[in-house]
Copies of this chain bind each other. A is one copy, B any other.
């Protein structure tokens, strides 16, 4: 590759539908650092896919240059791909205590134990090749989140990570606006900033407001209280614990990921729980209902989650009672509206009181709205700006926001994953792109499910399949057995015997025709069967199942 050796290269490298969400790469001469290493959950049309991870072809090619991975916080979309990527690239990891605590649990589950993890704290400076990476305290929906000031040979790059500005955070220091201001006054070459909430005017409410709502609800609840929230939202969980303790209730935890994170957070000192507040789910019976708060997963209506199982009476240990109060302390992630609504309906049908976002202030976002973004831009006064962490619509909007604050349009780079933005001390330009994309993970297969497999799954999901099997003599091409027709996902066979019998008749005719014409090319025979059957079925029932003709030669 012919490229100027003294340019700083910034590459948002991964994030399904969102730019730079999962991975961002910073490169200068022979040094590369990686910011975050996350995964995304699949889109609807990625049938059967478990998770989606970034394509790291570029990193693999340049692996000798990579000095380490710096993590901004412990959410899945920022750490979730580590188990997959560390297997190909064993790199040292840097991050704050809670972030690395969560990474450790994750790596243990994947039986990876040879990774060097380096705990750092806000204000620490990590030296990685020619880079000095400084962690700056931010606020987010998980504790111990940081932004990064990356001191490079051509200037300072600031990456906000996911953030918001919360003046009254829970058990956590306030975002270090002083340091952002200081860095800003010394000069920032480029800013990469979170665009998630750029469409929302105003400010994101403080996490503390949710605690007030909890206290209000807890003060009125006569029986059990069940709160569903994100397992990683330790501040939220702390507030549930605070309210529980205030109203003399015990805490019971349900849901595997909830149990895991609470354990990690508690062990590392991120949760303050009074002796005796936390009780085992099996000891619940020793207390009366108005002494219990259940903390559970399932705030997105996930069908296998603890809350969904309670709602459909499938939870092994918890049966909902009509006077229970259920709080869904979360917003629907786009795409989850219907599953959540279904769980809410089921809970209400059981007679429970259900409190969700449209009824009370039981959730706040973890991302900065417009006024917060303006504050950060204003404090940092960057020369160049790359909006990240958002779909194109968000990046575009964030670019407009920066422009409205006086940044020249040509200094703003709205780019795709894989696009390289190259900087000198004074200039920024779009460089050549590098490979970037999404790798689909299905079971143990990483990247083996591609467009053809997905297209077949889609076809099968819509109209099912018909298998036509026939055994034909090698010698004379005569039909020895069959044709047999088997269908799945097409029609309810017992009620469609005529249709299936007709189909068999049609295939038989095709076979007779082909035998007459002395066709022994099985590909031709198969495609005749497929075509004749396809058009017959479409005419009869306007469905288009996948048709698989199989010929056995004997």
Is A453 in contact with chain B by the CB < 8 A criterion? yes
Known contacts A471-B554, A550-B469; is-contact A460 B489 (Cβ 8 Å): yes
Bitwise, A373-396 to B at CB < 8 A (1) or not (0) is 000000000000000000111001
Q: Which residue of B lies closest to A443 (CB)?
A: B542
Is A212 in contact with chain B by the CB < 8 A criterion? no
Taken together as a complex, chains A and B put the C-alpha atoms of A349 and B396 apart, in Å, by 9
* Residues of chain B contacted by A456 (CB below 8 angstroms): 464, 488-489
Determine if B337 and A495 form an interchain contact, defined as CB atoms under 8 angstroms apart.
Answer: no
Is A276 in contact with chain B by the CB < 8 A criterion? no
- Partner among B47, B449, B459 whose Cβ is within 8 Å of the Cβ of A491: B449
- Partner among B337, B462, B540 whose Cβ is within 8 Å of the Cβ of A334: B337
Known contacts A456-B464, A488-B460, A488-B546; is-contact A341 B391 (Cβ 8 Å): yes
Q: Which residue of B lies closest to A467 (CB)?
A: B467
* Residues of chain B contacted by A107 (CB below 8 angstroms): none
* Residues of chain B contacted by A396 (CB below 8 angstroms): 348
Q: How many whole Å from A530's CB to the nearest CB in chain B?
A: 13
Bitwise, A452-478 to B at CB < 8 A (1) or not (0) is 111011111111110101010000000
Is A209 in contact with chain B by the CB < 8 A criterion? no
Determine if A392 and B345 form an interchain contact, defined as CB atoms under 8 angstroms apart.
Answer: yes
Taken together as a complex, chains A and B put the C-alpha atoms of A354 and B17 apart, in Å, by 18
Bitwise, A325-344 to B at CB < 8 A (1) or not (0) is 00000000011011001001
Taken together as a complex, chains A and B put the C-alpha atoms of A541 and B482 apart, in Å, by 33
* Residues of chain B contacted by A449 (CB below 8 angstroms): 491-492
Determine if B335 and A337 form an interchain contact, defined as CB atoms under 8 angstroms apart.
Answer: yes
Q: How many whole Å from A11's CB to the nearest CB in chain B?
A: 19
Q: Which residue of B lies closest to A349 (CB)?
A: B392
Taken together as a complex, chains A and B put the C-alpha atoms of A456 and B43 apart, in Å, by 21
* Residues of chain B contacted by A454 (CB below 8 angstroms): 489
Is A543 in contact with chain B by the CB < 8 A criterion? yes
Known contacts A453-B464, A456-B464; is-contact A481 B554 (Cβ 8 Å): yes
* Residues of chain B contacted by A553 (CB below 8 angstroms): 481
Taken together as a complex, chains A and B put the C-alpha atoms of A338 and B392 apart, in Å, by 13
* Residues of chain B contacted by A406 (CB below 8 angstroms): none
Q: Which residue of B lies closest to A480 (CB)?
A: B554
Determine if A393 and B548 form an interchain contact, defined as CB atoms under 8 angstroms apart.
Answer: no
Q: Which residue of B lies closest to A396 (CB)?
A: B348
Determine if B460 and A461 form an interchain contact, defined as CB atoms under 8 angstroms apart.
Answer: yes
* Residues of chain B contacted by A354 (CB below 8 angstroms): 393
Is A513 in contact with chain B by the CB < 8 A criterion? no
Bitwise, A522-554 to B at CB < 8 A (1) or not (0) is 000000000000000000111100101010111
Bitwise, A276-318 to B at CB < 8 A (1) or not (0) is 0000000000000000000000000000000000000000000
Taken together as a complex, chains A and B put the C-alpha atoms of A245 and B239 apart, in Å, by 57
Taken together as a complex, chains A and B put the C-alpha atoms of A355 and B396 apart, in Å, by 12
Is A2 in contact with chain B by the CB < 8 A criterion? no
* Residues of chain B contacted by A482 (CB below 8 angstroms): 552
Is A484 in contact with chain B by the CB < 8 A criterion? yes
Taken together as a complex, chains A and B put the C-alpha atoms of A444 and B17 apart, in Å, by 37
Determine if A484 and B48 form an interchain contact, defined as CB atoms under 8 angstroms apart.
Answer: no
Q: How many whole Å from A19's CB to the nearest CB in chain B?
A: 11
- Partner among B335, B442, B461 whose Cβ is within 8 Å of the Cβ of A48: B461
* Residues of chain B contacted by A464 (CB below 8 angstroms): 48, 453, 456-457, 460
Determine if A467 and B548 form an interchain contact, defined as CB atoms under 8 angstroms apart.
Answer: yes
Q: Which residue of B lies closest to A464 (CB)?
A: B457
Taken together as a complex, chains A and B put the C-alpha atoms of A491 and B442 apart, in Å, by 10
Q: How many whole Å from A50's CB to the nearest CB in chain B?
A: 9
Taken together as a complex, chains A and B put the C-alpha atoms of A334 and B338 apart, in Å, by 7
Q: Which residue of B lies closest to A539 (CB)?
A: B444
Q: How many whole Å from A280's CB to the nearest CB in chain B?
A: 32
Taken together as a complex, chains A and B put the C-alpha atoms of A334 and B339 apart, in Å, by 10
| Nearest 5 pairs of A and B residues by beta carbon | A443-B542, A461-B461, A460-B460, A456-B489, A48-B462
- Write 26 A-B pairs (CB below 8 A) sorted by A numbering: A47-B461, A48-B461, A48-B489, A199-B358, A334-B341, A335-B337, A341-B393, A349-B392, A354-B393, A443-B542, A443-B543, A445-B491, A448-B495, A453-B464, A456-B464, A457-B464, A459-B489, A460-B460, A460-B461, A460-B464, A460-B465, A467-B550, A469-B469, A482-B552, A552-B552, A554-B554
Sample of 4 more A-B contacts, CB < 8 Å, known A334-B341, A345-B392, A348-B393: A345-B393, A348-B392, A449-B491, A457-B489
